[in-house]
Amino acid sequence: MKNIKIIAFLTLILLGNIGIAAAQQIKGLVFDLENSQRLSEVLIENISNNKSTKTAADGSFTIDGKKNDYLVLKGKGYDRDTAFIYQDGISRIYLVRDKSIIRIDEVTVTRMTDSRLNTEIERAKNNSQAVETSKTRGGLRVSPSRLFGKEAKIARNSIKILELEKEQRLVDRTFTNELILSLISLPTDQLALFRDKYRPTYAFIKAARKEDLTAYILDSYAKFKKQ
């Protein structure tokens, strides 16, 4: 009987270790941002643990890692990029071709990595500026054509789209299912409804302390239960 208990105990430990090992992997797919084609032979490095791998023929990869790790991606003919892994499940990462001009719209920006998003924001801000380098006299000069030109207008519109996406990501990564369920109890279908109905604003998330967010969730839950 004693031996049976020991075997059962060891079996539980083994199964637990297997579960942990399975949870400590990042799985994903790598695509071309413009045409959504899957990319093979892309080198992926996890800078958190120095592990590396390459994407398979179908663009898929599996690498040791976990949430909150950073992956560096290097593909021939594509800009090097860094992806932040902020959620479980299959990560979909989109790369940009070298020197490619990206069409900025609401769909495209959702596919960008944080790193690419920041790069495009800086590029759009630069293109929207009215100041340019003078080739004849040196120094800087104000260019009305840049200020009111088509390129500047497109750039200013791009800034709005890009910065809105950046703000939404901060809200999503702060107002998470894990945080909500650590404070209140909700079934899956109601959790989605609660998150959508009481999604906080970017301004609140940016300024809120941990206790502010806790109070907000509890207060929102009290209102939610009354409906």
Pairing of strands 91-95, 81-84: unpaired
111 and 103 Cβ atoms separated by less than 8 Å: no
CA 60, CA 167: separation in Å to the nearest integer? 29
| pLDDT for residue 19 | 46
36 and 67 part of one domain: yes
CATH number at residue 94: 2.60.40.1120
Residue 7 located in a structural domain: no
CA 33, CA 222: separation in Å to the nearest integer? 43
30 and 91 part of one domain: yes
154 and 191 part of one domain: no
| pLDDT for residue 117 | 94
63 and 123 part of one domain: no
pLDDT digits (tens, 9 = 90+) for 31-83: 999 999 999 999 999 999 999 999 999 999 999 999 999 999 999 999 999 99
91 and 110 part of one domain: no
Q: 3-state DSSP call for residue 50? A: coil
Range(s) of the domain holding residue 150: 103-164
31 and 79 part of one domain: yes
Residues of the chain whose pLDDT is less than 70?
1-23, 129-150
91 and 59 Cβ atoms separated by less than 8 Å: no
Residue 206 located in a structural domain: yes
219 and 186 part of one domain: yes
Q: What is the pTM of this model?
A: 0.75
| pLDDT for residue 133 | 47
Pairing of strands 91-95, 25-32: parallel
Residue 197 located in a structural domain: yes
115 and 109 Cβ atoms separated by less than 8 Å: no
| pLDDT for residue 227 | 83
User: What residues are paired with 29 via a beta bridge?
Assistant: 60, 92
Residue 55 CB partners (closer than 8 Å, separation 6+): 29, 30, 38, 39, 40, 41, 42, 44, 61
75 and 40 part of one domain: yes
| pLDDT for residue 146 | 47
Total tally of structural domains belonging to the chain: 3
Give the tokens for residue 134.
Answer: 């003078």
